[in-house]
């Protein structure tokens, strides 16, 4: 067990190092930084009057989309690259098991996503806090340091929106969702060598995971209910494909609705269980794959 953990951590570290050398990832990160850093500028195009809600919506969308691309490209490019360069043969010729290779690769990608989300979250928070300081300073300047009751109420609302602790809750959910997408991409990379195929299949599962709850509600709302065949099919889909719709708690947080941390922990537990099962299946498939 001790040797296995050491092998896994070494592979994870090497995977992280290889991933951050990918130039395409730097392009995605820079684009996301521009979006987050300029989010306060884009608020002038929002006619709802809620600057912080707009900034949160934009930031979470940018982190989610760019993070999705990072997770897809990271898993789809690294493992096939090992096969293409034939470096995997050198690695597996040493006392390294295939399941250690898969788990190490996944943990390295999780480390990459953790760094990405942390960096983006830091830039996002700085943008939000800077916008709040600018708005507050404008009110204090207009009132010459003596805000009226209405102006003080506005300042309090600005600070509540900028220092909302639920923002961290949403970022944790985004990170968990990206890690879940990554393990699916790793699963496909154990049976395929084509980057396009791996990305396409992962996106297909991602789409089904978002639509399955909608389809389930639609079929069961029909008169007479769903047939046993439809019920069995929906049960199979729910069993093998994660329900990404559960992560829509992020929308509730953006809207300012209170979301209990207990619900967030349930989603994290669900993601962890699915990840463990997916990694076990990935290791089994990779174990039986001819290299």
User: How far does Cα 99 stand from its chain's mean position?
Assistant: 24
Q: pLDDT, tens digit, for every residue of 72-88?
A: 877 777 677 777 767 66
Q: pLDDT, tens digit, for every residue of 249-287?
A: 777 777 777 778 888 898 899 899 999 999 999 888 887
pLDDT band, residue 222 (cuts 50/70/90): low
Report the alpha-carbon distance of residue 265 to residue 262 in Å, rounded. 5
Worst-scoring range by mean pLDDT, 4-8, 199-203, 228-232?
A: 228-232
H helix intervals, the chain: 2-20, 23-37, 39-42, 51-85, 87-92, 98-142, 149-162, 166-189, 195-221, 228-240, 249-254, 261-287
pLDDT of residue 177 exceeding 80: yes
């Amino acid at each position: 067990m001790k040797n296995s953990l050491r092998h896994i951590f070494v592979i994870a570290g090497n995977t992280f190092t290889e991933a951050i050398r990918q130039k395409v990832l730097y392009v995605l990160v820079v684009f996301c930084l521009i979006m987050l850093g300029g989010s306060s500028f884009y608020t002038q195009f929002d006619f709802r009057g809620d600057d912080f809600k707009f900034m949160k919506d934009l930031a979470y969308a940018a982190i989610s989309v760019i993070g999705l691309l990072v997770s897809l490209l990271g898993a789809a490019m690294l493992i096939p690259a090992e096969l293409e360069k034939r470096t995997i043969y050198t690695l597996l010729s040493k006392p390294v098991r295939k399941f250690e290779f898969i788990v190490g690769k996944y943990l390295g990608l999780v480390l990459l996503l953790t760094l990405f989300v942390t960096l983006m979250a830091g830039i996002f928070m700085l943008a939000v806090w800077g916008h709040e300081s600018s708005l507050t300073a404008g009110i204090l300047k207009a009132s010459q340091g003596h805000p009226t009751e209405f102006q003080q109420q506005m300042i309090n609302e600005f600070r509540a929106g900028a220092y909302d602790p639920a923002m961290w809750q949403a970022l944790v959910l985004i990170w968990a969702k990206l890690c879940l997408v990554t393990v699916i991409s790793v699963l496909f990379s154990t049976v395929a060598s084509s980057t396009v195929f791996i990305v396409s299949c992962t996106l297909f599962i991602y789409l089904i995971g978002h639509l399955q709850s909608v389809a389930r509600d639609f079929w069961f709302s029909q008169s007479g209910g769903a047939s046993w065949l439809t019920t069995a099919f929906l049960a199979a889909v729910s069993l093998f494909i994660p329900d990404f719709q559960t992560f829509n708690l992020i929308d509730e947080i953006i809207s300012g609705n209170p979301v209990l941390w207990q619900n967030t922990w349930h989603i994290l537990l669900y993601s962890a269980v699915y990840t463990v099962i997916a990694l076990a299946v990935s290791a089994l498939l990779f174990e039986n794959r001819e290299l």
